Amino acid sequence: MISTADIEKVERLIHLSETNPVLPDEFIPWHMQEKDELLLPRELVSLEGHPLFDSLTETQKRELGRHEVVQVMYSYAWAEGLACFIFNKRLLKIPPDSVEYRYLVKELIEEFRHQDMFARAIRLLNGRKIKLSKFHQFVGRFHSRYMPASYQFISVLAVELVTDIYGKMIRKSPAVFEPIRKVSELHHIEEGRHIHYTKMWMKHYTDNAGFFKRTAFSIVVLLNIWYMRSLYVTKVNFEAIGVDDPAKYANVARKHLKQKFGTFYLDEIIEFVNEFNGFNFITKPLWRSILAAKL
């Protein structure tokens, strides 16, 4: 819900979407061919920094980056599909001439473009994408259909924040294949507006939330970060690059990525949770245990 004080800010967001659309067909050099560029910054590759990473050849390291960035984009497209479902449900409850309705329509248009953009990038890279497990599909669908709107919107925000962190690192890495950098740059430009809007919307719930509500919001954010992170590493990716024991590599990579995530990728998310005082004696141990967060 948008407060009267925020209406002018939302009008500016609508104006930006109308006057400065960033179109994937024009913004991204889809015609470019790969040479020997990285496809994912080395620091984002799950196994990077672990001794097992040094056992891989340069080709295997690059190909692992290919499959992992494809998996990341596949998970983003899935998550944005769920977000669009949530937004459409919200549209049915508000007047079509309201500022909130008008903005959500703009965001939906951009989110659908993002899904098409990620699908095109996946085809361009021809990587090994892994369909989500039945567990992941069930959780995503149940949450988007039956959980309260406040939990759904804070989940959307949590996913937007973690995707934006990855996107910033990709677009700032000159060694990465240019079409992938431009995909990340476009996503960052528009997700910045979406994050700004969703934070305004969530204030309706977080500003006056009591202890237990703030605790619940913090746990919902935590579980969404864990959910997204759990999609990034698969045994199939290590099978694709030809290691001798893919299951071993995948297990090590999952554990290693958990520690890297907690050390390097959670700062903005922790800052957001701090904004609504979501850390307490219940949530801090959970964040440290599940996400290896440095609190």
Q: Can you list the domains of the chain with their CATH numbers?
A: 39-291 (1.10.620.20)
Mean pLDDT score, 225-232: 92
Give 107: exposed, middle or buried? Use CB within 10 Å, 0-12, 13-18, 19+: buried
| CA dihedral for 79, 82, 180, 22, sign (positive or negative) | negative
Mean pLDDT score, 146-175: 92
In 3-state terms, what secondary structure has residue 140? helix
Contact indicator for 266, 225 with CB cutoff of 8 Å: yes
Residue-wise pLDDT for 167-197, tens only, equals: 899 999 999 999 999 999 999 999 988 998 8
Looking at the DSSP bridge assignments, the partners of residue 176 are 38
CA separation for the pair 110, 157 (Å, rounded): 15
Q: So what's the pLDDT on residue 182?
A: 97
Radius of gyration, alpha carbons of the chain? 19
Q: Which two tokens stand for residue 180?
A: 């992938």
CA 261 to chain centre: 13
Run of H or E residues at 19: helix 7-19
Query: Which among 205, 224, 231 is positioned nearest to 148, based on CA atoms?
Result: 205
CA separation for the pair 266, 262 (Å, rounded): 6
- Amino acid letter, 83: A
Give 289: exposed, middle or buried? Use CB within 10 Å, 0-12, 13-18, 19+: exposed
Q: Which two tokens stand for residue 105?
A: 């329509």
Residue-wise pLDDT for 98-139, tens only, equals: 999 999 999 999 999 999 999 999 999 987 767 788 898 899
Q: So what's the pLDDT on residue 201?
A: 83
Q: Is residue 156 scored above 70 in pLDDT?
A: yes
Half-sphere exposure of 174 (CA within 13 A, CB side): 0
Global pTM reads 0.92
C-alpha triplet 265, 34, 126: angle, nearest 5°: 75
Q: So what's the pLDDT on residue 196?
A: 87
The per-residue b/e assignment along 168-204, b for 16 or more CB within 10 angstroms, e otherwise, is ebbbebeebbebbbbbbbbbbbbbebbbebbbbbbbe
Contact indicator for 152, 217 with CB cutoff of 8 Å: no
The overall average pLDDT reported for the chain is 92
Q: Is residue 45 scored above 90 in pLDDT?
A: yes
> Could you tell me the pLDDT band of residue 1, with boundaries at 50, 70 and 90?
low
Mean pLDDT score, 152-164: 92
